[in-house]
Structure 1
Amino acid sequence: ARQYKLALASFESLLKQRSADGQLKKQAVIQAGLAERRLRNPKGAEARWRTISSSDATFYPEVLWQRAQMAYGGNSPVTGQKLLLELTQRFPSHARVPEALEMMLRSAVESQSAAAIQPLARQIVADWPSHESAHTARYWLARTLEKAGKRSEAQSLYRLQTESGPLNNYYTQLALCRLQGVDCFAPRSTALRVREPQLDFLGQIPLLQELAQDRQSRILEVVAPFVSLTAHERDLLKSWALRYNGHYFRSIRTIWTHPSRDPEILRLMYPLHYDALQKENAKRFNLPQSLIAGLTWQESMYKADIKSPAGATGLMQLMPATAKGIAAKAGVTGYHVNQLTDPKVNIRLGSYYLRAQLNTWQGNLMPVIAAYNAGPGAASRWLKSFGHLDKDAFVEKIPYDETRRYVKHVLTHMRVYETVYGE
């Protein structure tokens, strides 16, 4: 709260300056409203935003967007929907429009209203085909068409998504499953084999090739910012150097947001660290290695000593109380909480916990992954409330934003591991 109060004071100071630029003042009004919202003063935010004219095509669309966010956050979805509709209709080319359409589409998907999904999805696909929201729109348009018996059109949309969408995208993976006629949320026994990433551009510059062949990764990390490469290639080079320095977490964090279809880039982004330990525990507990790998990626990005504010520790982010309760059952003798940062112990305990959850949920990965993030109680409540829905629709219905994203991410990571390392 202190930082928002300080920010608000700074914006108020700027607004009092008569010589300040008018555009700058309007930006300050927007930000001051945001600070008020963060300070849980929605009336204060509304009062500030009302000072911007509805005829202002530059700043009023942002006001509509922020008011809509506040409405949804305040459990007023009808008001939020009206504000988003005004934004998309009055300012159709504004940069916020694809986000607004995606938010409206999410509401339609959550209610599984084909009549609402189709026009919104078609608008996104037609007007914003390169925006990230197009992946969501393409998939859900295909799903509603498939349910309506329009299989040919649906298949075309699935193929378009699988042939053009990033492989590390949830909806690309769902589309692949639809085309293959398989359950995306069922465990697979795909064997994984380690393959080191090969970056083509390393061979195009002799210095980089020499350093790469000699595994001079520390030098690579230093020279990366100064070599004549694209920004994307510099990120890849930095990630590669960090990886071979043993800085797994920093290596992944350097490129983790990059959408990609390139298997080599994906192998750099999705390393198989601790492969032997994963294989050992996958065999011991009859688990897909991709589940252990994908969940570890999401939980820690392979940083063995990471600790969350809540106390979850290690590669698979186990709570100390949970770890203590399952240690003996998992075959860990003489367990001590300090062992949670030991990859051997952490992966053993995390794998045992996953096996227990799979047994509980009869092999359905969806509640297993959801329970790992939100707890078995929450997953059980959701299954009772809307477990009758198709699994992809169930995920969209999860009320916790963090858990909904978590389930999508872990499933995506699993399928990427199977794609780029599968035998």
Structure 2
Amino acid sequence: MHNRDIRPHLLGILLLLVITSWAAMACGQESKGASSTLRSAGDEAKFRVISRFPSEKTSAQSPLGDDAKPFVDEAVRDAIAEERYDVALLLVQKKGAEDDPYVDLLEGYLALQADKPKEAFAKLEGLSGKVDRLEDYRLYWLAQSAVAAEKHHKAALSAAQVPHDSLLLGKSLILLANALLETGTSSDTERAIKTLELYLNKYPRGRSAEDARMSLAGAYEKTKQWDAAAKAYLAVLEKHALTESATEAQKRLDAIKKHLSKELKAAVDEPSRAIRMNRYRALFGAHRSKMVIAEVKEELDGLEDDKALRCESLYLIAKSYSKLRQHADGSEWYERIVKECAGTDYVLKALYLGGKGFWNSGERDEARKWFARIWKEFADHSFADDAMYFVARILREEEKSDDARKLLAKQVSSYPTGDMAKDAHWLLVREMFGGEKYKEVVAYVDGLDKTGEDDIYSRGRLHYFRARALEKLKKTDAAKKGYREIAQKYPLSYYAYLAFSRLGYLEESGQKGGRAAASDLCSLQNGKLCTFVEPKRTEAVKLSDGLRNADHFKRGVALLRLGLTDLAEDEFQALRRSHGSAANLWALTFLLNAAEAYRISHDLPRRHIQDWKTVYPKDADDPRWSLAFPTPFRQTVDKYVTERKLPRALVYAIMREESGFNPRIESWANARGLLQLMEATASKIAKKDGLQGFSADKLLEPATNIRLGTGYIAELSEQLDAHPALVIAGYNGGHGNVSRWLEERGDLPLDLWVEDIPYGQTRKYTKRVLASFWTYSWMYGQDRVPRLSFELPESN
């Protein structure tokens, strides 16, 4: 077809697309949330996912039966996971024709990814009408390959046909515009500009907005609309600060400045306040605190006319000092906020963070004053009970126990449902425990209607220590009853593990003779100690008709079968908005697990499905517990835990917490891989272990990371008497800190020692991972309830 024949056809398709797509996009197809990934291990802001991971076989059976059977074998899926597309392509081609259009579709995609656009184009073009479930992907990949093969009209035609309900619509519009620009005709260039303008008007914050602005700026530049180009590039600087696009936009602005009007030249030479402020916000979000402080300080004098921006700037400086832990320097700036920003939300933030700053820098009197202002001036805010709690802790540090006790009592009376009520109750009970006032502990807990314990770190705590108090009072039967109730109510939780451990201790202390200590507490009482809990098999995962018939579901399953887990994740993410019931999320979890996408699959029950841990699982094949606690890389893990004499459950508990089973993840602090090893630590273990040719990049290889990570766990185990709680605390807080805490408080029993860990992050990590250790032991280990010594070793 000649160019003059195709252009009217293109124009008709384009107009139809423009008319129909915006209505569909109004339903949210181009919202940023649609592209966000399911949350990974830890705090999402802490991690960046580099690529997919290789998998090992799973025994999970999909509720779809053969409808979820992979189109390709494991070797192909592994090559895709490792982004070795040329290898995956060769494997698909070597296997030969299977007369399956979806395998042909994958071959076309792999050829595109392997930089073979002509081969990809030929394969994808021949599949028209043959891959209905993934037709939008075929069209988009066909357009991409056409662009790479310099078939620009073909690219435009394909991109214009991507349906309006596709997640690829935004990208397709950008591709369409770029293809139109490449045809070289003025009419197609005008159409490209119109397409990009319409997109940005409708979705200025869409997930493809950055690309759209850069393409639009380039189109204006190509047609010598210099001022329009400059405005578009400036918009990139303002809205996409610190990105590669912003860097390129600045280069283009410098290149075209000679063509600009006087007004635009000035804007290039002196970026607008909006551009500068967005840069500061981006720097702040990227934790570049020193740059924030230096640059925003220079901005302040020019903000006398804008109170809102001035107060925000003061806050950025103050909070950046807090991030750097330069609390004394930050105090000055928090004081300025309180003085200059009356009537804004920044005053409350300043009192809260400034109070913490004074506290951290040892100025307790000033901290108390600032916190007191919060509950007096902002009594209805959620920070009010936090402030009371913090002052109570300060008073305890100053050994003003009576004042602390009075303030805590006032806190729980004034804010009985506040988010810090559980912590206030605990401080009161902890003080009673420290003073051996065990009767008061029992009476206090019995007098509570609600404990406020609403998270994994506190659920069951007060009643556990009530049982501990009864044990101290030698009311053994009542204590046992209390421990059993906790274990029954909170299956495989931290405090249930402690409760089981105390039951084991009481049983063994009542035995006569010198019997060897049991490694599995369930073996006590002739195997009857654990029989008061009744493990049950959870309900099998089912697939609803509504989910099965959803287009995003069909696409996601087809992509999973091709081994394209990243793309399937996007489709399933869209489903979470429209089919977000617990039953549907379990179905998605099952499918993702069956596809060995453990990073995503285990995270759904971990963070997005509530209140399912109501029974103890019977075995490792439990339909739900096995999905939340999978065992990927089993062969490699087993090899090294056997060599190093480590509990497999301990390695999996740490791995689940550190990386969420994604071996190619890197933290903001440059910890890498499955067990999140720092280069210095890994290098030391590699040398000790005789591993040749070590480099930081090798930490992204599962086998290397597991080898070195288990080496580090074994080193901690040797230093810390192989105590799982201490090893876990050491993995997070460092061996040096754990040794110091043992020296300072090693005379405490384990349960109180953990509660008194001064670093909140390490305290929570220890509880969380110890519960996972027990869960993995219960499900997969020889010991269902591993012995947990309450008597701590000496510091080493």
TM-score in terms of structure 1 length: 0.77
In the TM superposition, residue 136 of structure 1 has moved relative to its aligned partner by 0.6
**How far apart, CA to CA, are the structure 1 residues paired with 2:477 and 2:748?**
24
Q: Taking structure 1 as reference, are residues 378 and 223 closer, same or farther at Cα in structure 2, changes over 3 Å only?
A: closer
Report the Cα distance in structure 2 between the residues aligned to 1:382 and 1:44, rounded to whole angstroms. 30
C-alpha contact (below 8 Å) 1:142/1:155 kept by paired residues: yes
Give 1:380's match in structure 2, choosing from 718, 733, 739. 739
SS at match of 1:311: coil
Measure, in 2, the Cα distance between the counterparts of 1:311 and 1:175: 38
Could you tell me which residue of structure 1 aligns to residue 450 of structure 2? 127
Letter in 2 for 1:297: R
Contact 1:65 1:83 survives alignment (8 Å):
no
Query: CA contact under 8 A between 1:145 and 1:154: conserved in structure 2?
Result: yes
Q: Which moved more, 1:277-286 or 1:398-407?
A: 398-407
Q: Residues 97 and 334 from structure 1, CA distance in 2 versus in 1: closer, same or farther, beyond 3 angstroms?
A: closer
Question: Does 1:151 find its partner at 2:476?
Answer: yes
| Aligned CA distance change for structure 1 residues 68 and 52 (closer, same or farther; 3 Å) | closer
Query: 2: CA distance between counterparts of 1:277 and 1:242?
Result: 22
Taking a change above 3 Å as real, the CA distance of residues 109 and 313 of structure 1, as seen in their structure-2 partners, is farther
Distance 2:626 2:349 in 1: 39
The separation in 1 between residues aligned to 2:309 and 2:598, in whole angstroms, is 35
Match of 1:249 among 591, 599, 618: 599
Preserved contact between residue 294 and residue 413 of structure 1 (Cα < 8 Å)? yes
Distance 1:337 1:127, change over 3 A: closer
Cα deviation for residue 320 of structure 1 reads 0.7
From the superposition, tell whether residues 109 and 33 of structure 1 become closer, same or farther in structure 2 (CA, over 3 Å): farther
Q: State the Cα distance separating 1:45 from its structure 2 match.
A: 5.8
1:233 counterpart letter in structure 2: A
Whether the 8 Å contact between 2:408 and 2:428 is mirrored in structure 1 is yes
Give the corresponding residue for 1:38: 353
1:355-388 deviation digits (Å, cap 9, x = unpaired)? 2222222322232222222222111111122212
Q: Does 1:340 align with 2:699?
A: yes
Which residue does the alignment assign to 2:442?
A: 118
Structure 2 CA distance for aligned equivalents of residues 34 and 331 of structure 1: 52
Distance of 1:347 and 1:408 partners within structure 2: 23
- Does the 8 Å contact 2:490/2:614 carry over to 1? yes
| Deviation by residue 1:217-265 (Cα, 9 ceiling, x = unmatched) | 83982674377663x3343334344444554333333332445135433
Select between 332-341 and 72-81 the one with higher mean Cα deviation: 72-81
Whether the 8 Å contact between 1:242 and 1:250 is mirrored in structure 2 is: yes
Q: What is the correspondence of 1:12-411 to structure 2 with a 5 Å cutoff? A: 32-39=347-354, 40=357, 42=367, 46-47=372-373, 49-52=375-378, 59=380, 62=382, 64-71=384-391, 78=400, 81-90=405-414, 92=416, 97-106=421-430, 108=432, 114=438, 117-124=441-448, 126-128=449-451, 131-132=454-455, 133-167=458-492, 169-181=493-505, 200-203=540-543, 205=545, 208=548, 218=568, 221=572, 224-225=575-576, 230=581, 232-257=582-607, 258=610, 260-262=613-615, 263=617, 264-411=623-770
**Could you tell me how far apart the structure 1 residues matched to 2:521 and 2:504 are?**
16
Q: CA deviation at 1:81?
A: 4.4
Amino acid at match of 1:420: M
More deviation, 364-373/201-210: 201-210
What secondary structure, in the 3-state scheme, does the structure 2 residue paired with 1:256 have?
helix
Q: Which runs of 5+ in 2 are unaligned?
A: 1-279, 286-306, 313-342, 359-366, 509-517, 523-536, 618-622, 783-796
Change (3 A) 1:414 1:111: farther
Unaligned 5+ runs, structure 1 = 11-27, 54-58, 191-196
Which moves more between the two structures, 285-294 or 393-402? 393-402
| Residues 8, 36 of structure 1: 8 Å contact kept | no
Q: Which amino acid aligns with 2:572?
A: E
Q: Find the counterpart in structure 1 of residue 201 from structure 2.
A: none
1:343 partner amino acid: P
Q: Do the aligned residues in 2 keep the contact of 1:121 with 1:137 (CA within 8 Å)?
A: yes
Q: Which range moved further: 298-307 or 258-267?
A: 258-267
Once residues 244 and 370 of structure 1 are traced to their aligned partners in structure 2, the CA distance between those partners, rounded to angstroms, is 33
Deviation at 1:274, TM superposition (A): 1.0
Higher mean alpha-carbon deviation, 149-158 vs 330-339, is at: 330-339
Contact 2:438 2:472 (8 Å CA) reproduced: no
Q: 1:6 to 1:269 in 2, by over 3 A?
A: farther
Asked if the contact 1:122–1:137 (Cα under 8 Å) also holds between the matched residues in 2, the reply is no
2:468 & 2:370 partners in 1: Cα distance?
42
The question of whether the paired residues in 1 share the 8 Å contact of 2:672 and 2:699 is answered with yes
User: 2:352, 2:383 within 8 Å by CA — same for their partners in 1?
Assistant: no
Comparing 108-117 and 78-87, the one that deviates more: 108-117
Name the residue aligned to 1:194: none
Q: State whether residues 32 and 48 of structure 1, in contact with CA within 8 Å, keep that contact through their aligned partners in structure 2.
A: no
Task: Quote the Cα distance in structure 2 between the aligned partners of 1:226 and 1:47.
Answer: 41
Offset at residue 8 of structure 1 (A): 9.7
How far residue 327 of structure 1 moved from its aligned partner, in angstroms, is 0.5
**Structure 2 Cα separation of the partners of residues 110 and 30 of structure 1:** 40
Q: Which has the larger radius of gyration?
A: 2
CA contact (8 A) 2:405 2:428 kept: yes
Question: Deviation digits for residues 76-95 of structure 1, max 9, x if unmatched?
Answer: 65565433311223454667
The 1:47/1:401 distance shift into structure 2, 3 A limit, reads closer
- Give how far 1:413 is off: 0.7
Cα distance in 2 between the residues matched to 1:130 and 1:399: 20
SS in 1 for 2:589: helix
CA distance in 1, matches of 2:417, 2:734: 42
Secondary structure at 1:127's aligned position in 2? coil
Deviations 1:83-133 (A, max 9, x none): 331122345466754453245445555776535533443344x43488454
Change in 2 beyond 3 A, CA 1:157/1:51: same
Q: Is the 8 A contact 1:316 1:350 kept in 2?
A: yes
- 8 Å Cα contact 2:650/2:773 also seen in 1: yes
The 1:150/1:402 distance shift into structure 2, 3 A limit, reads same
Residue identity in the other structure for 2:576: P
3-state secondary structure, aligned to 1:307: strand
Change (3 A) 1:396 1:351: same
Superimposed CA distance per residue, residues 187-237 of structure 1 (whole angstroms, 9 cap, x where no aligned partner): 8799xxxxxx9862425549649979997583982674377663x334333
Distance, in Å, in 1 between the alignment partners of 2:452 and 2:642 is 43
Contact 1:305 1:314 in 2 (8 A): yes
Aligned residues: 390
| Letter in structure 2 aligned against 1:395 | V
Query: Structure 2 vs 1, CA of residues 89 and 366 (structure 1 numbering), >3 Å: closer, same or farther?
Result: same
**Identical aligned residues as a percent:** 25
State the distance in 2 between where 1:273 and 1:6 align: 51
